[in-house]
Structure 1
Amino acid sequence: MTTRLYQIAELKGHTDRVWSVAWSPTGNVLASCGSDKTVRLWVSNSDTEWICTNVLEGTHKRTIRNVAWNPDGRQLATASFDSLIGVWEQEEEGGDYESVATLEGHENEAKSVSWAKSGTLLATCGRDKSVWIWEVGTDNDFECLSVLQEHTQDVKMVMWHPIKEILASASYDDTIKIWKEDEDDWYCSDTLEGHESTIWSIDFDKTGEYLVSGSDDKTLKFWRCYRPDNREGIITDRNEPKWKCICTMSGYHQRCIYSVSWSKVHGRIASCGGDNTVRIFEQEESTVSGSTIDTTNFSMIASVTSAHGVVDVNCVQWYPTEKHSNWLATAGDDGIVRIWQLTEE
């Protein structure tokens, strides 16, 4: 059986490079953002026909680097090079979106936004080396709970754990940090070291026990969380879980890996980057005495070269639900959003 990845739709509308794409929690809407200072919302009439239903603009004066939906799918957050975080809300189902909050605090370019599963926390990060955690109040009132400044360089991405209120951040300082709350403040519970260059992207698996990272060193690293008194004998400090690299994938991307996405439905991992390729990996399994154990090995099952012509592929995101779990969206420097389908033939 052969696994193939092929394009099913090409979404045109942005007038400059597209930096990020994000599916709404139900998958009904795809958001994209880019250097043209806009967010576009796309809805499909069929698998191959998509229309742009909304263009969100006017809040940001520079490139919109990242966009993320909150868990109920009614709000979007945007991170911009103008240092601002925008929050947009849909007035009613099927209605327009309006700008309901603008969060100030980052000293320069904001790079990433992420909502916690509860919907009550929003994390942001930026070139100022900081990670901010905001509490979502009533009437779209956002309060900054903590400013985390332990990274020594530009923070490229933040990502919440899929279940718990635990945050991961990836940085130009070649590390990933894990953040937790202790009473009224947040602290770094672990620092993941191993990459040799900037870490651009991170994503958890559906359990939150594993993490994948993509780096300028052209490798993908897979990390596993080991709890105190784990049976593997991994030493943990201060009664805190310890994250260890269990697998490094090299030789697949020829240039920087800009984005990784771990499907919460089927568990496959997608990656893309500066070599214009999209690659799909899955974890290999081994059965011992009737029980399935992790072998900590991953293999590539499909790839597409020249996915966006000759330009960088900046972002890749799996469809979030079972309905079209074999779909993924990509964003490129060509100003186009592309929808792909993974098939087994």
Structure 2
Amino acid sequence: MILFFQPVRSIFIHCYDYLGHTDRVWSVAWSPNGNLLASCGGDKTVRLWASTSDKEWICTNVLEGTHKRTIRSISWSPDGRQLATASFDSLVGIWGQEEGEDYECVATLEGHENEAKSVSWAKSGTLLATCGRDKSIWIWEVGTDNDFECLSVLQEHTQDVKMVMWHPTKEILASASYDDTIKIWKEDDDDWYCSDTLKGHESTIWAIDFDKTGEYLVSGSDDKALKFWRCFPPDNREGIITDRNEPKWKCICTLSGHHQRCIYSVSWSKVHGRIASSGGDNTVRVFEQEESTISDDMTDTTNFSMIASVTSAHGVVDVNCVQWYPTDKHPNWLATAGDDGIVRIWQLVEE
């Protein structure tokens, strides 16, 4: 099956379908080297997909039996040897593979009082973050022999925490919530604290992602807007006031009118820097950062423009997740997950 993005700047996307899930697919995640694509969903399973060619992917493993309810989120460890899953049964599963063996659940993390919504593995590989409907964020230390110890439980959000995401190079965590805020978390003497709260969205924030430097953050919300945030260090040249010698995050750009319903997912490519978004209006959009300009008063003006879009990306159903390929081998590949139970891989092509 081949679908096309509506051409914007003469850019379009081919699509390939991968079937297997028997319920909606909530999330997809590429392994760090891009050799595997993991998907999870309402059928309580994780499927691993491997390529036999650029146009053919096959399901090589089905991970099941551990979770009793929907698997909402998945995250690969930085070395690609393990996979973490967050489920509505409140458990977090850790899956591993011995050489030549199938993947199996090697640990389950308990603590959330109800639905676990998101899981994210820090770049260092030593920390794992989870969040859930119980308004809490858990920070886990990754030990040897599949031993995970809870280091801290963070409870400053006033509503469900929808997503957690680690900074691409530092052990700094961002969280997005039903309370319409994003919080930035840091460690100080073995104690985790909220260093900044980002306000501006008018409704639930479903998705966040950093750019490759960690200086910028994008967020998608139920208010149908994308917001781009920049981190300003103390004594910045723009004159942004910072508190307690902490960096300050400020919204530098808001994009509205591109999505007609809730934005469920955003992905900022760590290769070419483009941003993809998807949501309840069945569309996928791709945005590109324009060259920043500095005014006489040292104000940094940053804009983002849409360069490609596709309607009915998964027929008439929600597009729950969008993820760019992680390396420069196939930098223009994009994976999506939909309520139709289908995983799709798209290719962005410039003529």
With the length of structure 1 as denominator, give the TM-score of the two structures.
0.97
Q: Are 2:243 and 1:262 equivalent residues in the alignment?
A: no
Give matches, 1:41-190, under 5 Å.
41-92=48-99, 95-190=101-196
* C-alpha distance in 2 between matches for 1:4 and 1:109: 39
Deviations 1:58-116 (A, max 9, x none): 00000000011000001000000000000000111x53111100000000000000000
The CA distance in 2 between the partners of 1:234 and 1:6, in whole Å, is 40
Residue 246 of structure 1: how far off its partner (Å): 0.1
Give how far 1:132 is off.
Answer: 0.3
Tell me what 1:323 maps to.
329
Asked if the contact 2:40/2:74 (under 8 Å) is kept, the reply is yes
Cross-structure match for 1:2: 9
In structure 2, do the counterparts of structure 1 residues 3 and 100 end up closer, same or farther at CA, with 3 Å as the change threshold? farther
Over 6 Å off, 4+ runs: none
**Aligned pair in 2 of structure 1 residues 286, 191: CA closer, same or farther (>3 Å)?**
closer
Q: Please name the residue that 2:221 is paired with.
A: 215
- Which residue of structure 2 lines up, in the alignment, with residue 12 of structure 1? 19
Contact 1:109/1:127, CA 8 A, preserved across alignment: yes
Contact 1:7-1:338 within 8 A present in 2 as well: no
What secondary structure does 1:139 align onto?
Answer: coil
Alignment gaps of 5+ in structure 2: 1-7
- Residue 42 of structure 2 corresponds to residue 22 of structure 1: no
* SS of alignment partner, residue 147 of structure 1: strand
2:3 aligns to what?
Answer: none
Normalising by structure 2, what TM-score?
Answer: 0.95
Gaps of 5+ in 1: none
Cα distance per residue 1:31-74 (max 9 Å; x no partner): 00000000000011112111000000000000000011000001
Shift of 1:19: 0.0
Give a deviation string over 1:266-306, Cα, whole Å, max 9, x none: 00000000000000000001578xxxx96410000000000
Q: Structure 1: how far apart are the matches of 2:101 and 2:126? A: 23
2:305 to 295, 299, 303: 299
The CA deviation at 1:5 is: 3.2
| Same amino acid, percent of matched pairs | 87
The partner residue of 2:255 within 249, 257, 262 is: 249
In the TM superposition, what is the alpha-carbon distance from 1:3 to its structure 2 partner? 3.9
